[in-house]
Amino acid sequence: MASNRLIELAIKGLEAEQIQIAQEMADLRRQAGVSSKRSGGEVPGQSRPRTQTKKKGNLSAAGREKLAEAMRRRWAVKKKAKAAKK
């Protein structure tokens, strides 16, 4: 069990080193004016900023009413089936 703990600690240390090295490489790329997209990707451990937002659906009032009516019909069927079981 002690050897497993040692391995886990070694992995965590190496991951921390990897993040630090990746950050230093990104700094050097910025200084050199090289885009990180061309040079090989993202820095491990850092999240990428969100560039796209989720679009909302544009539903007309008539469309909303049509969906509501369909749901009412589905619920009525379920309610009827539930009442029949009792």
pLDDT for the residue 48: 62
pLDDT over threshold 70, residue 39: no
Find the distance separating the first CA and the last CA of the chain, reported in whole Å: 57
Model confidence at 59, in pLDDT bands (50, 70, 90)? confident
Tokens of 40: 């090989």
Residue 45 CA to residue 22 CA, distance in Å, equals 9
Q: Is the pLDDT of residue 71 over 80?
A: yes
More confident residue, 47 or 32: 32
Residue 41 has pLDDT above 70, yes or no: no
pLDDT tens column, 1-17? 678 889 999 999 999 99
Can you tell me the distance from the alpha carbon of 29 to that of 21, in angstroms, rounded to the nearest whole number? 12
Q: What is the DSSP letter of 54?
A: P
In this structure, are residues 66 and 72 in contact, taking their beta carbons and an 8 Å threshold? no
Predicted pLDDT of residue 75 = 95
Q: What is the predicted pLDDT for the residue at 85?
A: 83
Q: Where are the domains of the chain?
A: 2-45+61-85
* Closest-CA residue to 26 (of 15, 37, 12): 37
- Torsion sign, CA atoms 51, 42, 22, 6: positive
